[in-house]
Amino acid sequence: MDRIKMTTPLVEMDGDEMTRILWQMIKEELLYPYIDLKTEYYDLGLENRNATNDQVTVDSANATLKYGVAVKCATITPNGARMKEYQLKEMWKSPNGTIRAILDGTVFRSPILVRGIVPYVSNWTKPITIARHAYGDVYKNAEIKVPGAGRAELVFTAEDGTETRELIHEFRGPGILQGIHNTEKSVGSFARACFSYAVDTRQDLWFSTKDTISKKYDHTFKDIFQEIYDTEYKAKFEDLGIEYFYTLIDDAVARVIRSEGGFIWACKNYDGDVMSDMVATAYGDLSMMTSVLVSPDGVYEYEAAHGTVQRHYYKHLKGEETSTNSIATIFAWTGALRKRGELDGIRELTAFADKLEQACIRTVEDGKMTRSLSLISTCENPVILNSLDFIRAIRATLDNLYLLK
**Which parts are annotated binding residues?**
77, 94-100, 109, 132, 250, 273
- We find the least distance from the C-beta atom of residue 203 to ligand NAD, in angstroms, to be 24
User: Among residues 21 and 228, whose Cβ is nearest to ligand NAD?
Assistant: 21
Q: Establish if 110 lies at the interface with ligand NAD (CB under 6 A).
A: no
Q: Are 225 and 207 contacting, i.e. CB atoms less than 8 angstroms apart?
A: yes
Q: Which of residues 257-286 bind ligand NAD (CB under 6 A)?
A: 286
Q: How many CA atoms lie within 13 A of 219 on its CB side?
A: 5
Question: Can you tell me which of 9, 116, 188, 307 binds ligand NAD, judged by CB under 6 A?
Answer: 307
Distance between CA atoms of residues 118 and 111, nearest Å: 12
- We find the least distance from the C-beta atom of residue 49 to ligand NAD, in angstroms, to be 12
> Known binding site for D-threo-isocitrate: residues?
77, 94-100, 109, 132
Q: Establish if 57 lies at the interface with ligand NAD (CB under 6 A).
A: no
- We find the least distance from the C-beta atom of residue 287 to ligand NAD, in angstroms, to be 3
Distance between CA atoms of residues 262 and 123, nearest Å: 11
User: Among residues 268 and 306, whose Cβ is nearest to ligand NAD?
Assistant: 306
Q: Extract the runs of DSSP E, i.e. beta strands, from 39-123.
A: 39-43, 69-72, 106-111
Q: Establish if 338 lies at the interface with ligand NAD (CB under 6 A).
A: no
Describe the chain by its helix, strand, coil percentages, rounded to 5.
Answer: 45, 20, 30
- We find the least distance from the C-beta atom of residue 11 to ligand NAD, in angstroms, to be 15
**Going residue by residue from 355 to 374, which x/- string records binding to ligand NAD, judged by CB under 6 A?**
-----------------x--
> Known binding site for Mn(2+): residues?
250, 273
Residue 361: name the closest of 114, 111, 31 by CA: 114
Distance between CA atoms of residues 279 and 286, nearest Å: 9
Q: Establish if 189 lies at the interface with ligand NAD (CB under 6 A).
A: no
Q: Establish if 314 lies at the interface with ligand NAD (CB under 6 A).
A: no
Name the residue number minimizing CB distance to ligand NAD.
307
User: Among residues 82 and 219, whose Cβ is nearest to ligand NAD?
Assistant: 82
> Interacting stretch for ligand NAD, rule CB under 6 A, among 72-80, 142-150, 215-223, 331-339?
72-80
Q: Establish if 76 lies at the interface with ligand NAD (CB under 6 A).
A: yes
- Count the helices and strands in the chain (H runs, E runs): 15, 18
Q: Are 81 and 312 contacting, i.e. CB atoms less than 8 angstroms apart?
A: no
- Please provide residue 127's backbone torsions phi and psi, each rounded to the nearest 5 degrees: -70, 145
- We find the least distance from the C-beta atom of residue 81 to ligand NAD, in angstroms, to be 9
**β-pairing, 175-179 with 289-294?**
unpaired
Q: Which of residues 190-229 bind ligand NAD (CB under 6 A)?
A: none
Residue 280: name the closest of 115, 122, 114, 110 by CA: 110
Q: Establish if 14 lies at the interface with ligand NAD (CB under 6 A).
A: no
Q: Which residues pair with 208 in a beta bridge?
A: 247, 267
Q: Establish if 309 lies at the interface with ligand NAD (CB under 6 A).
A: yes
- We find the least distance from the C-beta atom of residue 325 to ligand NAD, in angstroms, to be 4
Question: Can you tell me which of 104, 218, 271, 303 binds ligand NAD, judged by CB under 6 A?
Answer: 303
Q: How many CA atoms lie within 13 A of 263 on its CB side?
A: 21
Any idea what the Cα angle at residue 226 is, between residues 224 and 228, rounded to 5°? Answer: 70
Q: Which residues bind ligand NAD (CB under 6 A)?
A: 74-77, 96, 286-287, 303, 306-311, 324-325, 372
